[in-house]
Amino acid sequence: MLLRGKAHKFSDNVNTDYIISGKYKFKTLNMNELAKHVMEDLDPDFYSKIEKGDFIVAGQNFGSGSSREQAPLAIKHANISGVLAKSFARIFFRNAINTGLPVIECDTDKIDKGDKLRVDMAKGKIINETKNLTLDVNPLPSVMIEILNDGGLAKHFKKNKGFKI
Amino acid sequence: MGQTIAEKILSNHCKNEVYADDLVIADVDFVMSQDGTTPLAINAFEKMGQKTVFDPKKVAFVIDHSAPSPLEGVSNLHTLMRDFANKHDINIYDIGCGVCHQLIPEQGHIVPSNLVVGADSHTCSYGAINVFSTGVGSTDCAAAMASGKLWFKVPPTIKINCSRALVKGVYSKDLILYIIGELSADGATYKAVEFIGETIDNLSIDARFTISNMAVEMGAKAGLMLADSKTKEWVSQRNSNRFITVEPDNDANYEKELDFDFSNLKPQVAKPHTVDNVVSVDKVADTTIHQGVIGTCTNGRLEDLKIAANVLKKHPVSKNCRLIIAPASKDIFIKAMKKGLIETFVKAGAAVVTPGCGPCVGTHNGVPSDGENVISSANRNFKGRMGNTNANIFLASPATVTASVVTGKITDPREFL
Ligand code: SF4
């Protein structure tokens, strides 16, 4: 899986209420509708700034808070190809992989707003093309790689008739 | 090699001796989801091509987040849940029954040593009764509903030794706010926490739930406690099955051990907009308050309502302030009614709303206006959490919330004892 796009930067502790507010998520299962409100409380115009394939790049503890799967789904449906952060909250991390949104732990201080990035999920490599830098990545547990490669947990589960570790 | 509580419970459920960082597929004893997460879980269940749930008795849906429904979109999602529950004959707690994290233990669905997953981040609450329980998303929940299994990475454990009893006017909410302030919002991410020691032993089960409930506010996967005679009695009153309890081994391996002496702890307040932004109440005293909330899975239990009623019996809610009270369950509501607490609340000027999440998550029941300050007994004060990004939320114990709505500003509850 090869991903390419530019970086949108956010700070530490971006919680699930910021990713998609509770006032929207309970109303609908239409993710394209929810996607329009992604990160709205942090940046009201965020959705209109996204070009297909862009990355969200953040600090520590991205996705803290609720277990709502609407959070990674709304990001995915906003045409974001992946989230890079110094660390992730546990439930968000699982949910992202389960819904097929690539999430990667790395040192995001080496990425600035607007930098062009190339991410090779299979090799576990990030290249900051703007800065001509290669970043190290914390590898995913094997079961998560299987799930991501199958396109998310629902597909993985159907294909293997259960989990495969 | 010795094991922690988390390692023991996960070992028992994958029939293998496992330790921190091992990957396992384990059998779960109970699966729960609520109205914010169930619709997506049903979608995922169908995408997996599943026809039946693994055991209808071990699955429950709770309609608590927007209950009763404030909008037609929500109503349609509730109907989707009811139809699925009826078709598969699983437990459903409809509007008015209460908050999921009160109901699952209170209705006797779980016992010590169980492994439980719930599609809600505060599922870690049941650690208070020696259950390894953790929050998952809708797709994980669907997989668990279908197969009775889920994959886990065995978490390393941080042991928090809590010594000395809390003084009068200081509660388990103050204790956990203080710990979160010390460890920070991601101080225990991916880890289990064991809360152990004299301070915990002295607490009621109601008070212990408050602590385990908020373990996730420092990122923890589980917030575990030992099962003592109080736990066993509490559980036996609700579930007649025999059960085992789980203790850590003396030579268990902890990632970290922290010691806290709580004898001098003061009432604590988490300031906007993060839960780890914690100070003692004197640092924010006199902050104007427009609305108070008592309820939620953190502090909506009978003990909490009694604390509030004791103050409100003599002191009404300030004219410049509102108070919203949501008992955490129907059982609590009935008990509070029998004890005359509800009458006290209403006479004091509070609005008592349907058992459930109430205004905690901004769906209905008390959205604050721009610029208002709210003091709440809930567990999250994120910007916009209660439905308005221009409001400020302070978190505190039910005693501090009550004292503050009586005076109209943040107040040390010890002034009213
Ligand atoms: S009371 Fe609040 S924190 Fe608890 S389950 Fe409901 S919405 Fe979540």
Handedness of CA A46, A47, A48, A52 (dihedral sign): positive
Do B36 and B181 lie in one domain? The reply is yes
CA distances from A164 to A161, B18, B218 (A): 9, 18, 31
ipTM of the complex: 0.90
Residue of chain B minimizing CA distance to A26: B36
What would the mean pLDDT of B255-283 be, rounded to a whole number? 98
B190 and B218 in contact (C-beta within 8 Å)? no
Confidence at A120, pLDDT banded by 50, 70, 90:
confident
Q: Flag if A153 and B143 touch (Cβ within 8 Å).
A: yes
Looking at the partner chain, which of A22, A64, A91 has a beta carbon nearest the beta carbon of B186? Answer: A64
Whether residues B191 and B238 share a domain: the answer is yes
Q: How confident is the model at residue B233 (pLDDT cuts 50, 70, 90)?
A: very high
Ligand 1 center–CA B162 separation, angstroms: 26
Q: Separation of B388 CA from ligand 1 center, angstroms? A: 17
pLDDT band of residue B104 (cuts 50, 70, 90) is very high
- State the pLDDT confidence band at A29, using cuts at 50, 70 and 90: confident
Taking the CA of residue B100 as reference, the ligand 1 atom at the shortest distance is 5
Nearest CA-CA partner of B363 in B382, B393, B386, B392? B386
In this prediction the pTM is 0.95
Q: What was the pLDDT predicted at A145?
A: 85
**CATH classification at residue B316:** 3.30.499.10
B379-401 pLDDT, tens digit per residue, is 999 998 999 989 999 999 999 99
- pLDDT recorded at residue A141: 83
Domains of chain A: 2-139 (3.20.19.10)
- To the nearest whole Å, the CA of A115 is away from the closest chain B CA by 27
Looking at residue B402, its pLDDT comes to 98
Answer positive or negative: Cα dihedral of B272, B128, B224, B18.
negative
Identify the DSSP state of B328.
S
Best probe of the B interface among A41, A77, A90, A148, by most B CBs < 10 A, is: A90
* Residue B218 shares a structural domain with residue B77: yes
B28 and B96 belong to one structural domain: yes
| Shared-domain flag, residues B208 and B237 | yes
Q: How many other CB atoms are there within 10 angstroms of residue B372's CB atom?
A: 18
Q: In terms of residue numbers, what domain contains B276?
A: 269-416
Q: What CA–CA distance (Å, rounded) separates B230 from B245?
A: 13
Cα B402 versus chain centre, distance: 20
Name the residue among B25, B39, B44 with its Cβ closest to that of A154.
B44
Contact B384 A61 (CB under 8 A): no
Q: What pLDDT does A26 receive?
A: 67
Residue B414's pLDDT band (cuts 50, 70, 90): very high
Token output for A80: 């974001």
Binary contact (B23, A165; C-beta < 8 A): yes
B234, B260, B286 — which closes off a domain?
B260
Predicted confidence band of residue B261 (pLDDT cuts 50, 70, 90): very high
Instruction: Give the B window 341-400 contacts with A, CB below 8 Å.
Output: 361-363, 380, 382-385, 387, 389
Q: Do A22 and B362 touch (CB under 8 A)?
A: yes
Summarised one tens digit per residue, pLDDT across range A40-82 is 989 999 999 999 999 999 999 999 988 889 999 999 999 999 9
pLDDT tops 80 at residue B34: yes
Phi, psi of A105 (to 5 degrees): -90, 125
Assess whether pLDDT exceeds 70 at residue A25: no
- A16-25, B68-77, B258-267 — most confident range: B258-267
Q: Kindly report the nearest CA distance between residue B308 and chain A, in angstroms.
A: 28
Q: What is the pLDDT of residue A140?
A: 82
Strands (DSSP E) contained in B327-390 are 351-352, 373-376
Does residue B275 share a domain with residue B239? no
Judge whether residue B375 has pLDDT over 80. yes
**Nearest 10 degrees: CA dihedral of A84, A88, A90, A95?**
-30
Of B10, B25, B17, residue with least CA distance to B149: B25
Backbone angles phi, psi at B329, to 5 degrees: -155, 165
| % of chain B with per-residue pLDDT over 70 | 100
- Are B182 and B291 found together in one domain? no
Using CA coordinates, name the residue in chain B closest to A100: B139
- Give Cβ neighbours of residue A74 (< 8 Å, ≥ 6 apart): A19, A20, A31, A34, A35, A37, A38
Q: In what side-by-side order are the strands of the sheet with B91-93? A: B91-93, B59-62, B30-34, B115-119, B132-135
Asked if B117 has any chain A CB less than 8 Å from its own CB, the reply is no
pLDDT of residue B343: 98
pLDDT of residue B31: 98
| CB contact at 8 A, B290 and B323 | no
- Asked whether residue B252 falls in the same domain as residue B284, the answer is no
Residue nearest to atom 6 of ligand 1 (CA): B357
Q: Which among B138, B151, B389 has CB closest to A165?
A: B151
Q: Which of these three, B260, B285, B304, is where a domain ends?
A: B260
Q: Chain B contacts of A68, Cβ < 8 Å? A: 36-37, 137
Tell me, yes or no, whether B9 and B136 share the same domain. yes
Residue B260 has pLDDT above 70, yes or no: yes
Q: Assess whether the C-beta atom of B33 lies below 6 angstroms from ligand 1.
A: no
Query: Is there a single domain that holds both residue B320 and residue B341?
Result: yes
Q: Is the pLDDT of residue B367 over 80?
A: yes
Mean of the per-residue pLDDT values of chain B:
97
pLDDT at position A113 over 70: yes
Task: Verify that B45 and B149 share a domain, yes or no.
Answer: yes
Q: Which residue of B has its CA nearest to A92?
A: B137
Number of independent structural domains in chain B? 2
The residue in chain B having the minimum alpha-carbon distance to the alpha carbon of residue A157 is B48
DSSP track, B121-188: GGGGGGGGGT-EEEE--HHHHHHHHHHSEEEEEPPPEEEEEEESPPPTT--HHHHHHHHHHHH-TTTT
Residues B222-230 have a mean pLDDT of: 98
pLDDT of residue A139: 79
Say yes or no: B162 and B223 in one domain: yes
Which of B206, B231, B260 terminates a domain? The answer is B260
Q: CB of B120 within 8 A of CB of B32?
A: yes
Inter-chain contact A95–B139, Cβ cutoff 8 Å? yes
